[in-house]
Amino acid sequence: MYYNNKTVIYRDGKFVKASESTTDLYSQTMHYGYGVFEGIRAYATDNGTRVFKSKAHYERLKKSSELVNIPFDFDVQELVDVTYELLERNNLTDAYVRPLVFCDPNMSLSRPKKVSIMLCAWEWGAYLGDKQLRLSVSSFCRPHPRSIKIEAKVCGHYVNSILATNEAKDKGFDEALLLDSDGYLAEGPGANLFFEKDGVLYTPQLGNILPGITRATVLELAEELGLKVKQGLYTLKDLEVADSAFYCGTAAEVIGIESVDAVTFPKAWQDTLGKQLQDAYSKLVRTSEPTLSPTH
């Protein structure tokens, strides 16, 4: 259960009880998946709650809207401030925040004239747990970038992720690994992929994957740690001979991968570059930073 009778959400400029909030059943978002969303994490620090890279997430929410012709008339800094107030009203520190921009009633396929925004939050542990993952290569591929705006975080795009995840779990695995439409390594259903070989990190290049904010953070941390990273087009064979691998994403954070189908990575997780980055990421997100506004 993500909410109870006391849970408060933010909806179009007001804080209201989640249990009393309603939406129109003729919304384009409900019928066609025509909406955009974000996933943001908040962490408890020595100096209070920190919403990690909140501005970057709301900037991406705005960009996602613009890429798919959904109006976005919301102020990014105001949304950052609202997020902190939402957490305070719900007495949350370590939490997951879900902003959603959804469309008004419209049964046509034309762009919406009016949209709403909703922010909710709940306590949520690591999305994929804290054990190394057993992956299965999905029979589904990521959509071709000419068929959708691959860099936009659109509600409907995640049907692809749901299909891949459930296929993997039905086969007894923890999660899926998706290739792109040309057969190159892409990403997980909700996380970006990195793998290690001979002391070098590799990750699929942008173009056929979601440009993850956590992915960008991992790249920043790798540079700070002096780790060599290559971005490019890689095949499943490249991954199968890797020493180790990991996923990263806001919900998943940084989590090691034990195996992909019948191939188990030989390097102990504690000895990997991924483990170094996992530790660095965990420390970073729980470190306080200068406030982004006069109130938060």
Given the residues 153, 169, 237, 283, the one annotated as active site: 153
Structure tokens at 40: 């943001």
**Residue indicated by tokens 């990575």:** 265
Burial class (CB in 10 A: 0-12, 13-18, 19+), 294: exposed
CB-based contact 32:116 (threshold 8 Å):
no
The kind and range of the H/E element at 36 are strand 35-37
**Does the CA dihedral 150-156-158-160 come out positive or negative?**
negative
CB-based contact 120:17 (threshold 8 Å):
no
How close are the terminal C-alpha atoms of the chain, in Å?
29
Residue 14 is a catalytic residue: no
SS3 184: coil
CA distances from 211 to 11, 156, 175, 206 (A): 27, 17, 20, 6
44 pairs with which residues across the strands?
A: 49
CB-based contact 68:154 (threshold 8 Å):
yes
Supply the residues annotated as catalytic.
153
